[in-house]
Amino acid sequence: MSRLSNKVALVTGGSRGIGAAIAKRLATDGANVAITYAKNPDAAAAVVKEIERSGGKAIAIQADAADANAVKTAVEKTVATFGRLDVLVNNAGTAIPKKFEETTLEDLDRVIDLNFRGVMLTTHAALKHMKENGRIITIGSCVGERVMTPGLVPYSATKGAVKMFSQGLSREVGSRGITVNNIQPGPIDTDLNPASSEWAVSQKAATALNRYGRVDDVAELVAFVAGPEASYITGANLTVDGGTNA
Ligand code: NDP
C-alpha cells in the first residue's frame, strides 16, 4: 500500500510548473489525481499521460479557477470519475509584477479573482464532498508574510489573504479531521518565475541558499502534508523558500 492509496486529489493549475509537479508526486504516492488548467490542453494531457505511464490514474479538466461554475463542475467531475475527494490543492495563481500605481483595475481584478477568490470558491465546492481526514492545501507564497521586492503589492496581498483564510477555515473543519494548510514557496523556477530572468537576480540574492528552488521542493512538502503523517498539522503556514524569510 502506498501512503495515498485509495485517495483522490484535485490540483488546480496542474498542467505546468509547481502544480504539475504536485500532481505527479501525489500520483506517485498512489492517489488518483484530477488536474485543472485554463488554456493549454496539450500540457495538461502530457501530465495525465506521464502519470498513466507510471501506472497511475489521472484526468485533466479545463476550468478557470476564478470561475465559480467551472470550479464546481471540476469538483463534481472529479468525484464522478474517482468516487470521492480527499485532497484539494489550490495551486492555480498568477502574478502581474508592476508598481502598484501602474497597476490597472483589470490587473487587480485578475490577481484577486484567481489567487484569492478562486481559492475560496474551489474550497467551498470541494468541502461539500470531503469526508473525514480530508486535506485542503493552498499554495500561498513567502511574500504572503514578508515582501523583499517592489512590484508585488496586489500579489502579496492575495497571498497574505489565503494565509488567513487557511488559518480561519482550519478552526471550522477540524472537528471532521480535515486539515487546512498554506504552503509558502520562495522563488521556484517555472514559466511564471524563470530563474533565468532579470527579475530573478534580486530574488535569488534574497535567499539564504543563493539559489532558486525546484518545483519538486514544493511538491515534496505538499505530499507530506497530504499524507497520514501530517494529521496533526493544521492552520499552519509552511515555508519552503530557501531562507528568503529567514
Ligand atoms: P505557472 O504559471 O508556471 O503555472 C500555472 C499553472 O496554472 C498552469 O498549469 C496554468 O495552466 C494554470 N493556470 C493559470 N491560470 C489558471 C486559471 N485561471 N485557472 C486554472 N488554471 C490556471 O505558475 P507556477 O507553477 O510558478 O505557480 C503556481 C502557484 O505557485 C501559484 O499560485 C503561484 O502564485 C505560486 N507561487 C509560485 C512561485 C514561483 O516562484 N514560481 C513562488 C511562490 C508561489 P494553463 O497553461 O492552461 O493556463
pLDDT tens profile 109-124: 999 999 999 999 999 9
Q: What is the pLDDT of residue 211?
A: 98
Lookup result for grid cell 479557477: 65
Is 215 among the domain residues?
yes
**What range does the domain containing 63 cover?**
8-240
What gap in Å lies between CA 154 and CA 111, rounded to an integer?
7
Ligand 1 atom 16 nearest Cα:
38
39 ligand 1 Cβ < 6 A: yes
Per-residue pLDDT band for 149 (boundaries 50, 70, 90) equals confident
Site to probe by mutation for ligand 1, drawn from 16, 61, 137, 149 as the one with most ligand atoms within 8 Å of Cβ, is 16
What gap in Å lies between CA 159 and CA 175, rounded to an integer?
26
Is 245 among the domain residues?
no
Q: Which three cell numbers stand for residue 180?
A: 487546512
Is 42 among the domain residues?
yes
Averaged pLDDT for residues 186-204: 96
Is 2 among the domain residues?
no
Lookup result for grid cell 525546484: 214
What gap in Å lies between CA 207 and CA 41, rounded to an integer?
34
pLDDT at 192 over 90: yes
Q: What is the pLDDT of residue 83?
A: 98
Mapping DSSP onto H, E and C, the string for 79-141 reads HHHHCCEEEEEECCCCCCCCCHHHCCHHHHHHHHHHHHHHHHHHHHHHHCCEEEEEEEEEECC
Per-residue pLDDT band for 35 (boundaries 50, 70, 90) equals very high
Is 71 among the domain residues?
yes
Kindly give the number of the ligand 1 atom that is closest to the alpha carbon of 203: 40
Cβ distance 23 to 48 under 8 Å?
no
Lookup result for grid cell 465559480: 68
Kindly give the number of the ligand 1 atom that is closest to the alpha carbon of 93: 32
For residue 92, the CA-to-ligand 1 centroid distance in Å is: 5
Averaged pLDDT for residues 197-215: 96
Is 3 among the domain residues?
no
For residue 128, the CA-to-ligand 1 centroid distance in Å is: 25
Helices 17-28 and 41-53: crossing angle in degrees, nearest 10, is 20
Number of structural domains found in the chain: 1
Cα-atom radius of gyration of the chain, to the nearest Å? 17
Average pLDDT, the chain: 98
State the chain's maximal CA–CA distance in angstroms.
54
Is 157 among the domain residues?
yes
Q: What is the pLDDT of residue 1?
A: 80
Is 246 among the domain residues?
no
Q: What is the pLDDT of residue 228?
A: 96
Residues with Cβ within 8 Å of 32's Cβ and at least 6 positions away in sequence, in order, are 7, 8, 9, 56, 57, 58, 82
Q: What is the DSSP letter of 178?
A: -
Averaged pLDDT for residues 132-143: 98
For residue 173, the CA-to-ligand 1 centroid distance in Å is: 27
- Write the pLDDT tens digit of every residue in 59-75: 999 999 999 999 999 99
Q: Which three cell numbers stand for residue 232?
A: 496533526
What gap in Å lies between CA 6 and CA 28, rounded to an integer?
12
The CATH number of the domain where 31 resides is what?
3.40.50.720
Q: What is the pTM of this model?
A: 0.98
190 ligand 1 Cβ < 6 A: yes
For residue 95, the CA-to-ligand 1 centroid distance in Å is: 9
